[in-house]
A and B are shown apart, each in its own frame.
Chain A
């Protein structure tokens, strides 16, 4: 129990990228005992059938509503942030690798990008992301705290990204990544959103996630996107720190 007079109410809202948080929870890698915890999510494609209206995220059809309700503890057909102290938006189609590719390339090869332009690029990019826009709308209600954990960078060896990453970009270190993350955090904060940057210890080769945080047999399954419970535990722990439990 906290100063709230009740256990903090937390909902994890996301697409398949929230699965690693659920795994971490089920495996006991994080202690969520002091929270009233719910999950509300479904595969990313179903996010195209969600809209924000009347202060809540609503499915636009019954099929989608039922899909989301199926994986929610209370069978919620829609998600009002006002019902919670924190909405943790996990993944939710906020893939940042195109943004990192652009900014890291410019950082390592030019052209010179000012911090103002970098901020503008980041803001405009985030505004194209469904999950980020839900975060903005939720934050604008002034109810729950809105925390966003974007989709982790692709796992090292990701065939679609590897050719686009130059040796110089691969050599980029924490300082170069922090410049990008700091901008993302600042832009989001200005819109009332707390961003959890990808934990630095999970990153390798400039802009990839270490294979140690990929799902099992990710190469055989050709899945360079999803994360394992260890990654979920890192993100979940940081969210709980923010929630102060």
Chain B
């Protein structure tokens, strides 16, 4: 018999994961599930592209390792070795932009690629080599010439066009709100000039710490550009859990990290509202939340340990399986290799026939006359 004094309210009869005690406190942290309620059913046929800050590269590896269809639109020569791929940033993301830390940077890349707007003329020269200010790390020793730099960048822009046109899901990991821009043109650089390459000039280069409205505006523009190029494209946003290496904001780096990540996290939620094709996966929360007690961080409390990446990706695949009632994919179907691993040239053994021919050649050359 129902208690006549009982008044129904929205917090009764909720699933266990809606209460802190049953969703968190009473659960082994490794078993906390349902952090993500995926809107998109990602399966092995879903064409996925990835871009963003360094944490995004873990997505591609995990997807490939589990037999998902991660798209590499700029794979480079098939014969590259894993070390060469790594050093030249092939296969790190779906195209060779290097890390894209801010929404503004992504907006710039998409504008250049999809709207076919010519990128600014900026080039950084160091020691007679030329570095692309928008992806200075992709060519470890820089380019031989400005022409080579531009030719290489054009390949990347074409890869972006192909990626957006053919993908089902565009995964973007937002990393930072802080950036450096050209004071006159407003163009945003991938890193502060003078750090990896180039020369810092206070007359030309200016620090910017994007505020919420600007971040939202840039990401809204990004979504518009993507939708214009591919109306069926879904966007999965994440926020990198990796703290800032350094801040130019004048704040303590810890406070600056909180500021930066909080804004990006809020932007992600804001973008989801009213946009069914936009989703947010909480890798940031999984790594950084106090319930995990920092266990996924290396001793420097910045680098994410492989166990952390594994756990994030386990959550990713488990939540898809739960939401869409499909079997979870095994953790690792293939070795955790670079998404597009190459081969290493080795000394081939001579066949018997070849060896015989070699012997004949030498004997003929040195036989007494």
Contacts and interface: CB of A to CB of B under 8 A. Distances in A.
B142 A116 contact: yes
A115 B76 contact: no
B77 A113 contact: yes
Interface string B139-152: 11111100010011
Interface residues of B, number: 39
Given A19-B365, A225-B357, A114 B152 contact: yes
A114 B148 contact: yes
Nearest to A113: B77
17 contacts: A15-B358, A16-B358, A19-B361, A19-B364, A22-B365, A23-B365, A71-B362, A102-B77, A111-B155, A114-B143, A115-B143, A116-B139, A116-B144, A117-B84, A121-B80, A222-B357, A223-B357
Given A22-B366, A44-B350, A114-B139, A221 B84 contact: no
Nearest to A15: B358
Contacts of B80: 121
B122 interface: no
Interface string B48-90: 0000000000000000000000000011110111011001100
B325 interface: no
Contact of A16 (B142, B349, B361, B369): B361
A208 B20 CA distance: 72
Contacts of A102: 77, 79
Interface string A17-57: 11110110010000000000001011111001000000000
A19 B367 CA distance: 11
B187 to A, nearest CB: 23
A16 B359 contact: yes
Interface stretch (A3-11, A123-131, A198-206, A234-242): A123-131
Contacts of B358: 15-16, 43-45, 226
Interface stretch (B8-16, B200-208, B229-237, B339-347): B339-347
Contacts of A17: 361
Given A43-B359, A114-B144, A128-B344, 8 more contacts: A16-B359, A45-B355, A111-B77, A115-B148, A116-B141, A116-B144, A120-B84, A215-B361
